[in-house]
Amino acid sequence: MNSKKKTILLILIFVALMIGTSALYTSLSQKVESNGLVSDLPQTESAPSNKEEDMTLAEESTPTEETASAVQESTPAEEEEASQQNLSKAPDFKIYDKDGNPVILSSYFGKPIVLNFWASWCGPCKSEMPDFDEAYKKYGEEIEFLMVNLTDGSRETVESASAFIAEQSYSFPVYFDNDSSASLTYSVVSIPTTYFINSEGYLTAHATGAIDASLLQQGISMIYSE
C-alpha cells in the first residue's frame, strides 16, 4: 500500500507541475503577444477594439449621401488640424551629438521622426538595430532618425557607445542623452523604446521593447507616405 500511495502521490505531483507549467507558458505568451506597436492616434467610438486595431490605423468609412455634403465642406487641411488636436505634441528635449554640440528635438519638426532610446549593453536594443539601419538607408532623406543613447557616464559612455556603432558599421545618426533630459522627459523606464512622431511634431505611435522590421515599417507608414 505504501508503494502504491507513493506512486499515486508522484503522479499527482507530476500532473500539478504540468498544469502549472502550462499556465505559466500561457501567461508569458500573452505578455509577449501584447508587446508591440501602440497607436497614439485618436480612435472613433465605432472602431473595433481588437489587437490589430491597436497597432494599425482604422480605415475611414465611406460617407453616406446624408453626410457627403458635410464631409465635402471640410478641406484636407482642416481635417488634418482637427486630427492633430486629439494628438499629443511630442515633448521637447536637448541631447548632444558626438562632438558635444546640443541638439533640440523640435528643431527636426517639419519632417517625420523615428525616436529610439537604446544602450550598447542592451541585448534587445542591439537585436533591432540592423532593421533600423536598413530603414535609415531607405528613408534617411525623408525621415529623421534620432537614435538616442542613454549615456550615464559609467555603464555607458560616449566612447563605448560610439565604439559599438563603429564596430557594427551602422550608418544612422547617434545622439547622447548625457544629462538624462530626453529619457526623463519621455519617462523611459525600459529600453529599447521607440516613438514615431509625424511631421507636425505630434506623437503618433510608440513601442516598448524590441520591434522587428515589420513593426518598424508599420510605424513609419503611420508618419510617412511614399
- The string of pLDDT tens digits covering residues 75-89 is 455 445 545 557 899
Q: Is residue 21 part of a domain?
A: no
Read off the pTM. Answer: 0.68
Q: Is residue 56 part of a domain?
A: no
Nearest partner of 103 among 50, 149, 171, judged by Cα: 149
Q: Is residue 134 part of a domain?
A: yes
Compute the distance between CA of residue 212 and CA of residue 192 in angstroms, rounded to an integer: 12
Instruction: Give the chain's mean pLDDT.
Output: 78
pLDDT at 6: 64
Q: How confident is the model at residue 226 (pLDDT cuts 50, 70, 90)?
A: confident
pLDDT at 34: 35
Compute the distance between CA of residue 149 and CA of residue 191 in angstroms, rounded to an integer: 10
Largest CA distance in the chain: 87
Q: Is residue 30 part of a domain?
A: no
Q: Do residues 128 and 147 lie in contact, with contact meaning Cβ atoms separated by under 8 Å?
A: no
The residue type found at 2 is: N
The residue type found at 72 is: Q
CATH number of the domain to which 216 belongs? 3.40.30.10
Q: Tell me how many domains the chain contains.
A: 1
pLDDT at 5: 63
pLDDT at 87: 84
Question: In percent, how much of the chain has pLDDT > 70?
Answer: 65
Q: Is residue 26 part of a domain?
A: no
Q: Is residue 151 part of a domain?
A: yes
User: What pLDDT, in 10s, does the model give residues 160-214?
Assistant: 999 999 999 999 999 999 999 999 999 999 999 999 999 999 999 999 999 999 9
Q: Is residue 64 part of a domain?
A: no
Please tell me what DSSP assigns to residue 158: H
Q: What is each CA distance from 46 to 79, 90, 132, in whole angstroms? A: 18, 27, 34
Name the residue range of residue 175's domain. 89-223
- Judged by DSSP in three states, 96 sits in strand
Q: Is residue 191 part of a domain?
A: yes
